Chains A and B, each alone.
Chain A
Amino acid sequence: MEFYKILVPVIGTDADEEAMKLACRLAKKNKAKIWAVYVIAVKRALPLDAEIESEIRTAEGILDHIEAVAEEQDCEVDTDLLQAREVAPSIVDEAVEREVDLILMGVTYERRFGQFSLGNVVPYVLKNAPCRVILYHQPTA
């Protein structure tokens, strides 16, 4: 498998860091391009272009950090901040628009009603992604 364009959606977890390191490793062989995106989900009571200062600050911090992680790996990454109503469709849209051949996502261990849950975003991306998807799961402590 060879990848030339990799999309790494981030939300600020430890798994994101590891996913970015993995993306860098996969990218090295073919000098693939990596994009890291953070999606701000805007509630329907606000216009889509509402600039929510606190959210933007958090997102910028996370993307700064992920850039630093990539730099440590001697790897170049482009970062982007999106605003959308729904996170999952916007990740898929971004993958379509950029014609990526891999989406690499870090997932964390979460429980919902006592069961392990992937949440809403990951299943949607797995179902609708136009390319390969790799999920990176951190070993639980």
Chain B
Amino acid sequence: MNNSWQPKPGDKIFHPRRIKRYRLRRILGVPALFSAGYGNVGSSIYYALGIVALVAMGATPIVLAIAGLLFIFTALTYAEGTAMLPEAGGSASFARHGFNDLAGFVAGWALMLSYIVTISISAFTIPPYLGYFWEGLKIDPIAGTATSIGIVIFLMIINVIGVKETSFLNIGAAILDITTQVSLVIIGVILILLPNPSVLVQNMFAPGNWPTLPNFILGIALASIAYTGIETMSQLAEETKQPEKRVPRALIMMIFTVLVIFAGISLVSLSAMTPQELASEWSRDPVAGIAASLPIALIRDILKPLIAILAGTILLIATNAGIMGISRLAFSLGNHKLVPPILSRVHPRFKTPYISIILFSIVAILILSPGLFAANVFKNMGTLYAFGSLLAFMFAHASILILRARKPELPRPFKVGWNITIRGRELPISAILGLFATIIIWIIILVTQPYSRWVGIIWMVVGLITYYLYRRKQHMPLT
């Protein structure tokens, strides 16, 4: 009977789409995931140390350690969230599931700000490292900032065209990066710290070197910039094999590696330089400062160009990761109707989300442009980053807590331990502490830092107006 059936004119034969949402090839394993994450976090040591030293002075290692504790809390929150919801979007996705669309939008929009500032800061710190080859890049603000802007434009074009980047490049860069940083720590400890440990004590605790309490707290906020890669790893969950197992594993590996290397580098840097030197001459290229302070000329001569090239490459990869991260995030928010679809528009030929790449690269250039005239743009970028990322982290912690309360039945392949039970619901202490700490630090930044306060608020208000108009046009509720 079936064989005799013939379509008549006007009949439409419905072919269901072959594509299935979960027929996506996931190829990343723990090494590739760790490398992508470390490529981002590890790159931040090349500028975070200097930016923190600008305010925390001699207390830089202690401030980084306290922020490291916060980093552990946040990483654990992300590990649970990503294993539970392995999709692009990170904290925006957690907030959407935990609260509602509006919370998802606010978290995502804040995250976008931190991505944009990551692009700006990474690009801003490439020229000082390359200053080894041509000093003008380090000392001339116009040459330096113009180079940074050129780098962003170059990467913008590359990303619009959509040149392939392989995991192999990430893994190679991460291995080279960790090897160089560990070597620098070992050499620094043997040649600088151990022969005269009193210098470190002097540089940390002597009068004039210890920061005021507000600066100490601001230092903790700025130190959050040292831990920028958590989101990246979360964003990559959707293309990881068995993300529920591998993402937490890669995150834990990253926590351990990053904390050890950051502790070593910060201690060695304050053994090699006074906090004043670290916060002025070497603020944008602190790792080059360590290499330049080594007492043996031969090692110095090998390490200086090596670090210049390596830092330049790693920071270039980090800038690129920022551009790719923000375009993916914009696309993901667009898919969930949180931002206008124009941001998800794909180029007909290159198949890339060219409008979001171009738009957010332009915003990153605008953030960079005061660098052509002013010297304190570096600290401002740091506080602006903290404004966005802390807001996103806040939503991440709050969402994990709310999901424990509202949706306890959701499968949690990785569940954070050390819980307290409130009204029959298990709540992780790390997320509670993380939430309170991020709220307090965020408020401090809001109150004490006029630049990030106003730029951050304007960014959020522009976003909320766009969100309101878009949702209204779509006849969708705000929440």
Chain A: residues with CB nearer than 8 A to chain B? Answer: 39, 42-52, 54-56, 59-60, 63-64, 79-86, 89-90, 93-94
Contacts and interface: CB of A to CB of B under 8 A. Distances in A.
A44 B17 CA distance: 24
B66 to A, nearest CB: 34
Nearest to B22: A49
Contacts of A64: 15
Contact of A43 (B25, B162, B344): B162
6 contacts: A44-B164, A46-B331, A50-B331, A60-B15, A85-B27, A86-B27
A78 to B, nearest CB: 10
A90 B88 CA distance: 20
B346 A48 contact: no
Given A47-B238, A81-B19, A93 B27 contact: yes
Contacts of A45: 159, 162, 323-324, 327-328, 352-353, 357
A90 B328 contact: no
A49 B27 contact: no
B422 interface: no
B253 to A, nearest CB: 22
Interface of B is mostly: loop
Interface of B: 15, 17-19, 21, 23-27, 87-88, 159, 162, 164-166, 238-239, 323-324, 327-328, 331-332, 335, 344, 346, 348, 350-353, 357
Contacts of A44: 162, 164-165, 324, 328
B25 A46 contact: no
B162 A82 contact: no
A56 B24 contact: no
Given A54-B348, A55-B351, A84-B27, A49 B18 contact: no
B213 to A, nearest CB: 43
Nearest to B354: A45
Nearest to B160: A45
Contacts of A59: 18-19
Contacts of A90: 25, 27
Nearest to B89: A47
Given A60-B15, A60-B17, A60-B18, A48 B24 contact: yes
A44 B19 CA distance: 19
Given A43-B352, A60-B18, A80-B18, 16 more contacts: A45-B327, A45-B352, A50-B335, A50-B344, A52-B346, A52-B351, A54-B346, A56-B19, A59-B19, A64-B15, A82-B25, A83-B19, A83-B24, A86-B166, A89-B27, A94-B25
